[in-house]
Amino acid sequence: MKIYAKIHEAKKEIGVVKKNAKNPHFKNTYADLNALIEAVEPILLEKGLIMLQPIKDGKVFTQIIDIDTFEMVESAIDLSPNLTAQALGSQVTYYRRYTLQSLMSLQADDDDGQKASQPQPIVKEILQVGSSNFVRCVDALKEGKGTLEQIKAKYNVSSEIEKLLIEKSK
């Protein structure tokens, strides 16, 4: 049996994953990572499939591998740069949940559909020392073609980067 046939058989058995966690910020419920793994992994193993979730090359992967043929399907998402260890850990957990949910096409949380239809906040790029955007910002400040407030409105600027911008623009 090929990997897609095995995944098909597994999906028929998995069904809907029970929501077991509550997000107090958005007031919605969702299936957390442990609930997803508990619902999915035993059935995958029964079908001769193994699930791995490695982190490599700045991405979180979910891979499902057929142990008989070594065929693999995978889903990956890029990690954000320059996160604290705690923020990185949270992002890894979040991305593991979403890559697994996406790869297996598991039923999504209904509450997420309502949020997706609403305007989403703009995520600002993190300004990093040495990047071409950092150099452009320094040049704009030097030449009086921009202000620090304008830069902060466009980019996520840490206090360290702000100090460097001021220092280098003098």
* Same structural domain, 106 and 45: yes
* Same structural domain, 68 and 149: no
Region 25-38: mean pLDDT is: 70
When divided into structural domains, the chain yields a total of 2
Decide if pLDDT at 40 tops 70.
yes
Contact 52, 72 (CB under 8 A): no
Residues facing residue 156 across a β-bridge: 126
Cβ count within 10 A of residue 43: 17
Cβ count within 10 A of residue 80: 13
* Same structural domain, 99 and 136: no
User: pLDDT digits over 115-129, tens only?
Assistant: 445 555 566 788 888
* Same structural domain, 109 and 130: no
Region 93-112: mean pLDDT is: 75
CA distance 37 to 51: 9
User: pLDDT digits over 52-96, tens only?
Assistant: 999 999 999 999 999 999 999 999 999 988 888 898 888 998 899
* Same structural domain, 69 and 31: yes
pTM for the complete prediction? 0.58
* Same structural domain, 36 and 10: yes
pLDDT of residue 116: 47
* Same structural domain, 100 and 131: no
CA distance 115 to 131: 33
Q: What are phi and psi of 17, to 5 degrees?
A: -85, 130
> Which stretch of DSSP H or E encloses residue 93?
helix 85-103
Tell which wins on pLDDT, 15 or 152. 152
User: Would you give the distance in Å from CA 105 to the centre of its chain?
Assistant: 16
High-pLDDT (> 90) share of the chain, %: 29
* Same structural domain, 164 and 89: no
CA distance 51 to 42: 10
Average pLDDT, rounded, for the chain: 82
Query: Could you list the residue range(s) of the whole structural domain that residue 143 is in?
Result: 125-168
